[in-house]
Amino acid sequence: MNKMKYRRYKDKAFLYLMFLITIIAITPLASIIFELVAKGFNQLNISFFTEVAPTTLDSMLAKSTGNPVKGGIANGIVGTLQIVGIASLMAIPLGVFVGIYLAENSNKKFSTLVSFSTDLLAGIPSIVYGIIAYAWIVIKITDGYSGFAGSVALSIMMLPLVIRSTEESIKMIPASLKEASLALGTSYRKTILRVILPSAMSGLFTGILLSISRVIGETAPLILTALGSQVINLDITKPTSAIPLLIWEFYNDPYLINMIWSSSLFLMLLVLIFNISAKQISKRWAIQ
């Protein structure tokens, strides 16, 4: 009887311990969010979205005249959309096809090799992608820093994520669906494109959105490729700004420190939106 009681106490203590550890673990997370909101929120005004980032000169002038520093991150927002958009255009179709190939040919030696390389690719530090895009694109193709080089770096980063999520979601589709399609006399190509892929859409989209949210905040590869720009630049062969690049620039200017918080908050909200949409889509479109 006593032993039972003792055990119950131990169980209770264990529960409290887990609770305590959880609290300790989420404290820094909560404080980060709190700090971002507290320091960044009141700067998320219209000009934050419509004006380009202030330069060091702007900030020094403002400082000497005692006015607040004006400016936003419009060049960063446009740059991020452009760099990540083009990266997605390259990585998604490619990754989806490789994912289909892996799911459909899982017992081939070549697939094992591709699969293994994909895992390796996922483990490479992001700055290495930047160096590679620098060597391949900045030096050889665009002859200087460019948004396109940034897109290439990010798209290689996205590839393993897109490949894996496609492969996983296609493998989840029961063989009976493929058989149903082929039994109607459908070709293999149409079976894959019109039956299997649409049925795997939920998982596919989730993976794609998560891969975008994974690279949207990447800074290191962009420092070596897109470099940054003080104006809104739409030419992909020219240096281009991006939100994480601006955060890095703001950090290097003591007068612009406040902009870090609002930009980071905005980036966090962006990632949050992607993650929530991913969850919603996987729930809404889920099949059975």
- Contact residues for other proteins (CB under 8 A)? 174, 176-187, 190-191, 194-195, 198-199, 201, 287-288
Q: How far is the CB of 55 from other proteins (least distance, A)?
A: 51
Considering beta carbons, is residue 131 or 201 the nearer one to other proteins? 201
Identify the three-state secondary structure at position 100: helix
Q: Are 195 and 173 in contact (CB under 8 A)?
A: no
Contact 72, 50 (CB under 8 A): yes
CB of 10 to other proteins, least distance (A): 47
Considering the complex, state which of residue 120 and residue 287 has its C-beta at the smaller distance from other proteins. Answer: 287
Give, for 194, the enclosing helix (H) or strand (E): none
Q: Between 191 and 213, whose beta carbon lies closer to other proteins?
A: 191
The CB-of-174 to other proteins minimum distance in angstroms stands at 7
When the beta carbons of 126 and 186 are compared against other proteins, the nearer one is 186
> What token pair was written down for 241?
């700004």
Total residues found in the chain within this entry: 288
Shortest Cβ distance from residue 122 to other proteins (Å)? 29
**Residue nearer to other proteins on the CB measure, 114 or 182:** 182
Taking the complex as a whole, the smallest distance from the CB of residue 189 to other proteins amounts, in Å, to 10
Place of tokens 């959105």: 209
Distances (CA, A) of 48 to 6, 154, 253, 288: 60, 25, 18, 44
